Structure 1
């Protein structure tokens, strides 16, 4: 059993998840750092050792697309530590391509990781978070607010996550659980590499969409090349959402992200929508 607050973070082998796990441990939280393949934990362990927080970072296997894996991991955490105080839904997978040129199996894979995996873990964790007065923090994306060309499947999944969490937030709040979404923009992490962009093949397979795809790829590479945050910078608002006494529903990780979303979101922190929907439950 542990007295320190316990947070379960998904997708911690690289990028924002790795940085958030280490930073949360630096803030004094006991971190359950999960990943589908624990053989990829060396970078996380090295970063935890460098930060001097090895004792506060525990690696566990968790595949968010496998309901049994989710249930087992949550049960083990509660059995070992006596409580679960927060969940960070961070695991995700990118996908670039337009729907006409790809089969539905690929689209379903993107939804399984980015949306249904979030729902599955949140569902399993909620009874324990209710007991601890905890919180759910979910890393979404500016692509969960603004639909982007050649990202139909990815943005659809992130839109779904934002809608799910925005709808859940007032319900969870009625039982003492806070819900927040964290929206990064461009981040210099392995997430981009993990999308597996083979640009020549993508263009060859794009058919009539090739000129538009070429323009989008050039724009995206410029955005990731000239304005990216580091994973640690993007993870800082995640840790703040875990440690602040109260947290707004919607958090952007940078001025760039706020500027990108501003034309669509006049209510940047989500307080107006939450005020309305919470009133429906009074």
Structure 2
């Protein structure tokens, strides 16, 4: 019998990570599904049971480098190989530079950028051995800076720069690197990023009107958001495609939005578009 390929998926308690873990297991992968808090694994276990698949669910705080190293080492010891990683764990943060603290920025960078570096660094020796694949969930916010998302977009821009630089180096060693860029997705992510809306608005000071306009616009965008399984299907294709692209968007809307930036040499198209988001 052929040994199943093994993939580690981070951030699987809900949304994109949950869908990706289940869809990969249905596709024949041995899935190690990680999440920071095992108490939040019920939805993942229920979906796996309903789909008739088995997952290896493990606790992992991706901001703890020693834990990341230990988990990757244990996965390789348990299964004898590591064929792919999906860096999905992350957290949004809504606010602007005057209303956030430097510690807010640092925490956002830790979970969204440095954790990706840590997981990738731990996995790469094993991915080289298997000629495997490193897939990372970025965002359209990794290409287009968005109002009241300075910290989050900065972290995702860093992810894109890191992986775009790594891509040819890893390819020379036989490892494919793929960045997946969703737009609005129907998950808990946006609500978690905003937190207490009333408190956020109350603390906005001179930016209150702009923030209210932004929140109204964002609510409309997420009302028509892509379903997580749609994103998971794109990620599964990135895992299995014989010749994956480096950068993949998960919907036509995401492709159009990213294209706005990539064809915008002087930056005017992007800032004109995003300025309309905050006009009261």
TM-score (norm 1): 0.91
**Structure 2 residue 52 is matched with structure 1 residue 63:** no
The residue aligned with 1:242 is 239
Task: Kindly state the Cα deviation for residue 203 of structure 1 after the two structures are TM-superposed.
Answer: 1.3
Contact 1:165 1:179 in 2 (8 A): yes
Contact 1:61 1:73 in 2 (8 A): no
Task: Kindly state the Cα deviation for residue 87 of structure 1 after the two structures are TM-superposed.
Answer: 0.4
The residue aligned with 2:277 is none
The residue aligned with 1:5 is 5
Q: Which residue of 237, 255, 264 corresponds with 2:261?
A: 264
What SS class does the counterpart of residue 34 from structure 2 fall into?
strand
Find the aligned partners of 2:149 and 2:185 in 1 and give their Cα distance. 17
The residue aligned with 1:279 is none
Q: Deviations over 1:191-249 (max 9, x none)?
A: 12222432221111111111111111111111001x20111011111000011111000
Find the aligned partners of 1:3 and 1:77 in 2 and give their Cα distance. 14
- Aligned pairs for 1:1-282 within 5 A: 3-54=3-54, 57-225=55-223, 227-266=224-263
The residue aligned with 1:272 is none
Find the aligned partners of 2:219 and 2:28 in 1 and give their Cα distance. 36
Find the aligned partners of 1:266 and 1:232 in 2 and give their Cα distance. 29
Find the aligned partners of 1:173 and 1:154 in 2 and give their Cα distance. 28
TM-score (norm 2): 0.92
Find the aligned partners of 1:11 and 1:45 in 2 and give their Cα distance. 14
Q: Which runs of 5+ in 1 are unaligned?
A: 268-282
Q: Deviations over 1:72-117 (max 9, x none)?
A: 1001100000000000000000000001112111110000000000
The residue aligned with 2:272 is none
Find the aligned partners of 2:221 and 2:186 in 1 and give their Cα distance. 10
Task: Kindly state the Cα deviation for residue 128 of structure 1 after the two structures are TM-superposed.
Answer: 0.2
Q: CA RMSD in A?
A: 1.2
Find the aligned partners of 1:61 and 1:253 in 2 and give their Cα distance. 27
Q: Which moved more, 1:228-237 or 1:127-136?
A: 228-237
The residue aligned with 2:267 is none
Contact 1:33 1:59 in 2 (8 A): yes
Task: Kindly state the Cα deviation for residue 172 of structure 1 after the two structures are TM-superposed.
Answer: 0.1
Task: Kindly state the Cα deviation for residue 265 of structure 1 after the two structures are TM-superposed.
Answer: 2.0
Q: Which runs of 5+ in 2 are unaligned?
A: 265-280
Q: Deviations over 1:114-135 (max 9, x none)?
A: 0000000000000000000001
Contact 1:20 1:232 in 2 (8 A): yes
Find the aligned partners of 1:125 and 1:31 in 2 and give their Cα distance. 15
Q: Deviations over 1:47-75 (max 9, x none)?
A: 11111112xx1101111100111011001
Find the aligned partners of 1:132 and 1:266 in 2 and give their Cα distance. 36
